[in-house]
Amino acid sequence: MTPRKKRRLMILAVAALALFSATALVLTAFEDNIVFFYSPTDLTKKTIAPDRRLRVGGLVEEGSVKRTPDNKAVQFRVTDLDHTVPVVYGGLLPDLFREGQGVVAEGKFINGVFQASEVLAKHDEKYMPREVADALKKSGQWAGEGGKTSAKPAGGQAAPEAKK
Amino acid sequence: MQNFANPGRFLRLAEALIPWFAWATAILIAVGLYLGLVASPADYQQGESVRIMYVHVPSAWMGLFAYTSMAVASGVALVWKHPLADLAAKATAPVGAAFTFLCLFSGSLWGKPMWGTWWVWDARLTSMLILLFLYLGYMALVDAFDDPTRGAKAAAILALVGWVNVPIIKFSVDWWNTLHQPASVSRAGMPTVDKAMLIPLLLMVVGFTTYYVTVLLLRIKSEILASRIRNLRLMQVHGSGE
C-alpha cells in the first residue's frame, strides 16, 4: 500500500470512529424521545404533566377487559407484570386485540385513568401454524404472548430489565 | 481482486455470470413464492396476512445489504481510487432504494390489518424511512456535479456517513420500545419462525440476493459500455485518439 492510500485509509477510520461515537452519544441523549411508548413501570418513575399526550404499552391483563357502565367504551388494564395502568377507549379495537395480547395505547391521563384516543396491537416475533401453537399449549411448553406461563411480556419490550 | 478492477476482464466475467444468476433468481423466486403464498401454513395469530412476510423481510434485508455493499464500494473507491468501485456503488443505489421502498410499502400494507395503522413514527420504521432518503440523496448527489469524479467522491462520503444508520435499523427494536416486534431470524438463539414458514422465507432471501447480483452486474456492464461510447465520441470530436 502506498503512503497516500494508507493515509486515506487512516482518515477514513478516524472519521468513522468519530461519527459512531457522536451518533451513540446523540442517541443516548435522546433516548426518551425515541422510545415509542412507556411501560407501566416507566410511568411509576416519571412525573407526567397532566395534559401531556403519551403512549403506554404492555399486555392486556387477563380478565380485565369489560364495557364501561354507560356501554360507550371498553376498559382494560395494561400490564408489564410489575405494574398496571387502567385504560378506557371508545374507538374501534384492532383485530389482534384480546386479553394477553401486546397493545400500545395513545392518549392522556385523566384522574389516574388513561383515556386512549388510539389503541394499536403489538404482536411478538413468533410465527407458527395454528396446529403447532395448539400442540405447544397442550404440552405446557407455551411461553408466548397471552400464555399464563409467560415470564415477561411480548418480546421483553415492556419489561424494565430490557431497557438500556 | 486487483485483476477484476480491469473493466475488460470484468465485462467478460459479468457476461458469463449473468445468465446463471438470472436463472437462479427465476427458479428461487418461483419456488419461494409458491411455497410462501400457497403451500405454507397460515399463522396462529395473524392468519393469512403473515404471507406478506415472504416479500417484506427479504426486501428489508436487501435494503440493508445493498446499502452496506454500496458503503464498502464507496470506501474502496475513496481509498484505492478504483474506477469500478465508483461504478458499483452508483449502480447499487437505485436497486437498494427499490428494495427499501418495497419493504416500507409491504410493511405498511401489513401494519394496517395487524397493528391497526399504516404508519407510526417508531424507531424501526423511522430509521428505515431515513435509509430510503439516504439512497435518494445519494442518487441525487452522484449526478449533481458537472465533473463526474467530484460527484462520485461527494456521494461516496454520503454513503459512508449514512452507513451509521444500518446498525441503528437492525438494533432499533432491541434498544428502544417500538411497535415493530424484535428480530425473528437473525437473532441470538434459534429463529422463532416455524420451519414450514422459514424455508420459503429463506428461499425468497436467496432469490432476492441473486436478483440483486444479476441487476447489479447488468447495471455495471451498461455503465462501462456507456463510458466507452462516451470516450469514442470524444475521440471523434478531437480527431484521432492517439
pTM for the full model? 0.87
Collapsing DSSP to helix, strand or coil, B138 comes out as helix
- Please give the Cα distance from B173 to B12 (Å, whole number): 44
Return the pLDDT at B205. Answer: 96
* Residue of B35, B81, B115 to mutate, testing the A interface (most A Cβ within 10 Å of its Cβ): B115
Collapsing DSSP to helix, strand or coil, A105 comes out as strand
A65-98 confidence digits (pLDDT tens): 988 888 788 999 999 989 999 999 998 888 889 8
Chain B hits for A27, Cβ within 8 Å? 168, 175
Chain A hits for B122, Cβ within 8 Å? 36
- Please give the Cα distance from A100 to A64 (Å, whole number): 10
Return the pLDDT at A138. Answer: 83
| Residue of B101, B107, B105 lying closest to B180 (CA atoms) | B107
Beta strand A54-60 with A74-79 is: antiparallel
User: Which portions of chain B are predicted below pLDDT 50?
Assistant: 241-242
B156-197 confidence digits (pLDDT tens): 999 999 999 999 999 999 999 899 999 998 888 888 899 899
C-alpha cell at A138: 397442550
Q: What is the ipTM of this complex?
A: 0.80
Q: Mean pLDDT, to the nearest integer, of A135-162?
A: 53
- Please give the Cα distance from A82 to A79 (Å, whole number): 7
Beta strand A102-110 with A66-67 is: unpaired
Q: Mean pLDDT, to the nearest integer, of A109-127?
A: 90
Size of interface A-B (CB pairs under 8 A): 125
A11-40 confidence digits (pLDDT tens): 999 999 999 999 999 998 988 888 899 999
A66, with CB counted inside 10 A (0-12, 13-18, 19+), is exposed
Chain A hits for B114, Cβ within 8 Å? 94-96, 121, 123
> Which residues 6+ apart lie within 8 Å of B121 measured at CB?
A36
Most distant pair of Cα atoms in chain B: their distance: 72
Q: In the predicted model, is pLDDT for residue A149 greater than 80?
A: no
- Inter-chain CB proximity A154 and B44 less than 8 Å: no
Residue A143 DSSP symbol? -
C-alpha cell at B42: 397460515
| Residue of B87, B96, B207 lying closest to B149 (CA atoms) | B87
Of A20, A57, A130, the CB nearest to B177: A57
